[in-house]
């Protein structure tokens, strides 16, 4: 299926390279992917096919980009076990495991949540969010575990979408962070945009980006011999930007255990508790779990609140820290 997106260049963007302009305005596409679209003649400037990503755009230029999407019939349903904790005719709430991608994308066409949903529910899912994302109202990162709500019909999807837009959804995450966040409790409110140096990452910006608000509370600081200080933190989201918690903690000078994207890739310790190091090395991805999810039911309007257990790797590290701290 072809999806054409059109833009008209304003004064602020006049003089920019077209690949940079498109990357800033279509946040889910990387600059390298956009260059491929240009090379494959999928971008037009003032109705003329473009062949150079370095072309400069001018005020009032018309830019059209043709994105070729797979249709829902191209996505292969796959029998994958789902941890469903609630279900009725309108919605289902599930606990997404660490390592599962929510919907198909570049490099992830199979083994996603959408593949599993299509196998189990076929066409009994909302389609408001496009053919690649049936039922998907919101998402969490691949290496983040936890609760997601899925819409089975468009009325349910619209109701949940409004609640997300109006910040009426309650979303609380638990995470383990290196160091101590100062102050211990607070609110982080910034703009978040895609990192210009690495389009796979997000970053805080003073000028451009979308508003992102995270309320956080330090539950406990672990100060243990031969282990750097580690904090157990609860984060409640007011907004849901890509990588929001990870970006905001980095902004504060901290990063999550196991986070290889926003943290240090190789952490060297002068002296370290061997049992802790063993469990740390077993951790795949960041220690971040979407633990609590609350919303008003689309049909009954009754408030619903769900809670989920921590994944095994996260729990083992937390239990060890609790035991060692006495």
**Rounded-to-integer distance, Cα 75 and Cα 70, Å:** 7
- In terms of Cβ atoms closer than 10 Å to its own Cβ (0-12, 13-18, 19+), residue 136 is buried
Half-sphere exposure of 263 (CA within 13 A, CB side): 21
Which bin fits 167, alpha (ψ -120 to 50), beta or left (φ > 0)?
left
The number of residues making up the chain comes to: 326
- The active-site residue out of 19, 141, 206, 307 is 141
> SS3 sequence, 137-174?
CCCCCCCCEEEEEEECCHHHHHHHHHHHHCCCCEEEEE
Distance CA(212)–CA(306), nearest Å, equals: 24
C-alpha of 90 from chain center: 24
226 given a catalytic annotation: no
Q: Which residues are catalytic?
A: 141
């Amino acid at each position: 299926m072809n999806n054409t997106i059109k833009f008209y260049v304003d004064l602020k963007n006049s003089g920019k390279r077209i690949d940079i302009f498109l990357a800033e305005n279509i946040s889910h596409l990387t600059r390298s992917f956009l260059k491929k679209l240009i090379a494959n003649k999928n971008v037009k400037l003032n109705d003329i096919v473009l062949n150079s990503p370095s072309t400069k755009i001018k005020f009032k230029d018309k830019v059209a980009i043709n994105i070729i999407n797979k249709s829902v019939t191209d996505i292969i349903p796959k029998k994958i076990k789902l941890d469903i904790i609630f279900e009725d005719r309108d919605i289902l709430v599930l606990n997404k495991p660490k390592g599962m991608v929510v919907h198909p994308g570049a490099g992830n066409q199979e083994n996603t949540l959408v593949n599993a949903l299509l196998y189990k529910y076929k066409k009994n899912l909302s389609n408001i969010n496009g053919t690649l994302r049936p039922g998907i109202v919101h998402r969490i990162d691949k290496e983040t575990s936890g609760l997601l709500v899925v819409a089975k019909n468009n009325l349910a999807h619209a109701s949940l979408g409004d609640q997300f837009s109006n910040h009426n959804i309650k979303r609380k995450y638990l995470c383990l962070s290196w160091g101590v966040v100062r102050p211990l409790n607070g609110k982080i409110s910034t703009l978040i945009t895609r990192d210009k140096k690495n389009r796979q990452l997000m970053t805080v910006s003073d000028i451009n980006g979308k508003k992102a608000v995270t309320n956080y509370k330090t539950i406990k600081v672990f100060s243990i011999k031969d282990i750097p200080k580690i904090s157990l933190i609860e984060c409640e989201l007011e907004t849901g930007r890509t990588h929001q918690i990870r970006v905001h903690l980095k902004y504060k000078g901290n990063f999550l255990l196991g986070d290889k994207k926003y943290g240090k890739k190789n952490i060297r310790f002068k002296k370290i508790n061997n049992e802790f190091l063993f469990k740390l090395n077993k951790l795949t991805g960041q220690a971040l779990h979407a633990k609590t999810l609350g919303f008003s039911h689309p049909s009954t309007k009754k408030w619903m609140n769900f809670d989920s257990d921590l994944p095994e790797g996260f729990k083992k590290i937390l239990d060890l820290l609790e035991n060692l701290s006495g």
